[in-house]
């Protein structure tokens, strides 16, 4: 479904992605793991068109995303729940969710999709008229994911969904990601909590200073000695 081939992305003179190549197949959860500054978020931003690659290609179902502006990429079904949630704090929960559907041409299933989001995150239904900025961190994460789902994405990009959340909420978020995937959503997951990410993903890539140093099934990565020492806290 999605293929990045030899992607080089820069911030000014800083070479952030140094020839990244990866694939995400239809129906998969693929995770990117790596330390801070490895290039995980930059990879997602490059797919989304927020950072343009200087060379290389990003292709979704045969369409060259690297040649398109970000809003057109969103209209093709690429939706992101960004790092730090980035909800609209002065808008209500409902208005945030409506903004997620803004790029959709077909709104006939809007109410069904809204109910689906509320079934995944009942807390949002309870706070539907509340301003986004007054929600707790966990609720804001639910809202960021719900807003992305309202775009009816072909592929969902999740950037650090567990960041700053209490363990119980982390479990809820990961259960939801698993459920979304079982319902047919293709997911590319960036996550600091490598153990949780590898426990729900089909495959994974390990990023280090802008390069992929390892790729394998999630199970094999979990058993890899270097991954265990560097990212899973195994001595």
**pLDDT of amino acid 103:** 86
Spatial CA neighbour of 29 closest among 195, 174, 189, 144: 189
Take residue 9 and report the two structure tokens written for it.
């992305």
68 plus 5 within the same structural domain:
yes
**pLDDT of amino acid 234:** 80
Q: Which is it for strands 14-24 and 63-64: parallel, antiparallel or unpaired?
A: unpaired
SS3 assignment, position 101: coil
147 plus 157 within the same structural domain:
no
What CATH number does residue 169 fall under? Answer: 3.40.50.300
53 plus 160 within the same structural domain:
yes
73 plus 1 within the same structural domain:
yes
- Rg of the chain over CA atoms, in angstroms? 17
Phi-psi region of 173 (alpha: psi -120 to 50; beta: other; left: phi over 0): alpha
**pLDDT of amino acid 192:** 86
70 plus 159 within the same structural domain:
yes
176 plus 67 within the same structural domain:
yes
65 plus 174 within the same structural domain:
yes
157 plus 66 within the same structural domain:
yes
User: Total domain count for the chain?
Assistant: 2
Structural domain including 103 reads 86-152
Please enumerate in sequence order all residues whose Cβ is within 8 A of that of 32, keeping only pairs 6 or more positions apart, or say none: 22, 40, 43, 188, 189, 190, 191, 204, 205, 207
73 plus 160 within the same structural domain:
yes
**pLDDT of amino acid 45:** 96
Q: Report residues of the chain scoring pLDDT below 50.
A: none
90 plus 23 within the same structural domain:
no
**pLDDT of amino acid 84:** 86
Which of 109, 133, 152 is the C-terminal boundary of a domain?
152
pLDDT tens digits for range 46-61: 999 999 999 999 999 9
38 plus 127 within the same structural domain:
no
96 plus 72 within the same structural domain:
no
CA distance linking residue 23 with residue 6, whole number of Å: 12
**pLDDT of amino acid 49:** 96
Take residue 121 and report the two structure tokens written for it.
């995150």
Which of 115, 136, 152 is the C-terminal boundary of a domain?
152
Give the DSSP per-residue string, 152-182: --SEEEEESTTTT--HHHHHHHHHHHHHHHH
């Amino acid at each position: 479904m999605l293929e990045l081939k030899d992607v080089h992305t820069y911030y000014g003179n800083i070479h952030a992605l140094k020839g990244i190549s990866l694939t995400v197949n239809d129906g998969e959860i693929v995770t990117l793991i790596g330390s801070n500054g490895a290039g995980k978020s930059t990879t997602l931003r490059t797919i989304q068109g927020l950072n343009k690659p200087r060379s290389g290609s990003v292709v979704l179902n045969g369409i060259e995303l690297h040649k398109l502006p970000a809003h057109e990429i969103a209209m093709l079904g690429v939706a992101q729940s960004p790092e730090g949630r980035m909800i609209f704090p002065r808008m209500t929960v409902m208005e945030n969710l409506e903004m997620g559907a803004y790029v959709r041409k077909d709104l006939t299933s809007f109410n069904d999709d809204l109910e689906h989001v509320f079934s995944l995150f009942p807390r949002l239904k309870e706070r539907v008229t509340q301003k986004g900025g007054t929600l707790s961190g966990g609720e804001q994460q639910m809202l960021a994911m719900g807003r992305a789902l309202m775009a009816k994405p072909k592929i969902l990009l999740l950037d650090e969904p567990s960041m700053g959340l209490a363990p119980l909420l982390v479990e809820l978020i990961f259960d939801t990601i698993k459920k979304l995937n079982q319902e047919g959503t293709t997911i590319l997951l960036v996550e600091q909590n490598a153990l949780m990410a590898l426990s729900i993903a089909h495959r994974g890539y390990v990023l280090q200073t802008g390069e992929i140093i390892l790729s394998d099934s999630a199970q094999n990565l979990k058993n890899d000695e270097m991954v265990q020492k560097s990212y899973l806290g195994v001595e």
